Amino acid sequence: MHTTNHRSPIRSLLRHRLTIWLVAVCFMAISLPSFAGVFISVGIAPPPLPIYAQSVMPGPGYIWTPGYWAYGDGGYFWVPGTWVLAPYVGALWTPGYWGWSNGFYVFNAGYWGPHVGFYGGINYGYGYDGVGYRGGYWNHGRFNYNRNVTYNTNISRVSYNGGRGGLMARPTPQDQLAARDRHMQPLAAQQQQVRMASQNRALRVSANHGSPAIAATPRAGAFGANGVVRARGTTTNPAMSRATRSTASRAGYSTQRSMPYNRANSASYARPMSSQARYQGPMRPAASSYHPAARPQAHAQAPRGGGNHGDHGERH
């Protein structure tokens, strides 16, 4: 009896610690892939996508990552589109998107992978027309740019999938295959772009009414550089005065309720201002001389609408 009395507290302590350890392991297992899944859910519909020109490409090897509405303490804010160096040969960017789920708008984060996956059918423009990517493709270790991307003149600016007024696109079999690929989270430069956007009050929809003064940047984090692009209809300076911001907040977009959806207006949205990637400086026609670090895993295959040609075969 004496021995049992001494062991019982020890066993209880061990069980307690084991339980804590198992919970921690389960939490880590759930959290590790979170970059490719849900980050935030809100009950407010994201605003329509603004109309803006693509910024000038800073050099070979850069891949366009479109702008989108993110959500923070001050409501929705615009994360400018920008050019990002591919992290490895064959890497393609799948944009994040907002989707309706159980009464909330849920954000699904973007990711890098060998194929472009499902991004809600959102037409972000410049190659991301809702399905795949047509802005360029990998060919023998080099990224070739499609300088003749065309768009339907009747483009919807709806920025979310499902729910009232949302797009009704669903993943295709190829999208489902892409979802099982090995993915990489947004790069440090992309995360910096989001942080800087969240700290810029002028990018909040309550201040810019859906037309951000910084709609696109030439590189991630280059908010004050030459080549920053405004959204169409923007009249304010990116460095808005306090008085201007105060007025915009009083008269601007309300972050306390969903934005009404007008089907008649959605059908008349104009197409993006430009559809060509532009590069200032010498570069071979329709091809990049940039060679990013080789990927240690299996080589990429060509995704639908702009992937890897010449190096590998396509999925069927």
Does residue 4 share a domain with residue 83? Answer: no
Please report whether residue 311 resides in a domain.
no
Does residue 92 share a domain with residue 208? Answer: yes
Please report whether residue 107 resides in a domain.
yes
Q: Which two tokens stand for residue 215?
A: 């709609």
Angstrom distances, CA of residue 68 to CA of 59, 206, 223, 285: 23, 15, 16, 30
Please report whether residue 271 resides in a domain.
no
CB 292 within 8 A of CB 88: yes
Does residue 200 share a domain with residue 124? Answer: yes
pLDDT tens-digit readout, 59-86:
889 999 999 999 999 999 999 999 999 9
DSSP one-letter code for 314: B
Please report whether residue 284 resides in a domain.
no
Q: Which two tokens stand for residue 220?
A: 């991630």
Does residue 136 share a domain with residue 93? Answer: yes
Q: Is the pLDDT of residue 300 over 80?
A: no
Q: Among 116-130, 134-148, 153-167, which range has the highest average pLDDT?
A: 116-130
Q: Among 24-38, 106-120, 226-240, which range has the highest average pLDDT?
A: 106-120
Does residue 124 share a domain with residue 161? Answer: yes
Does residue 42 share a domain with residue 31? Answer: no
Question: What band does 225 get if pLDDT is binned at 50, 70 and 90?
Answer: confident
Please report whether residue 166 resides in a domain.
yes
pLDDT tens-digit readout, 247-259:
233 333 333 333 3
Does residue 154 share a domain with residue 25? Answer: no
**Cα–Cα distance for residue pair 139/3, rounded to 1 Å:** 73
Does residue 63 share a domain with residue 7? Answer: no
DSSP one-letter code for 247: H
Question: Which residues constitute the domain of residue 215?
Answer: 37-266
DSSP one-letter code for 212: -
Does residue 114 share a domain with residue 50? Answer: yes
Domain count across the chain = 2
Please report whether residue 167 resides in a domain.
yes
| Residue that finishes a domain, picked among 222, 241, 266 | 266
**Cα–Cα distance for residue pair 101/170, rounded to 1 Å:** 13
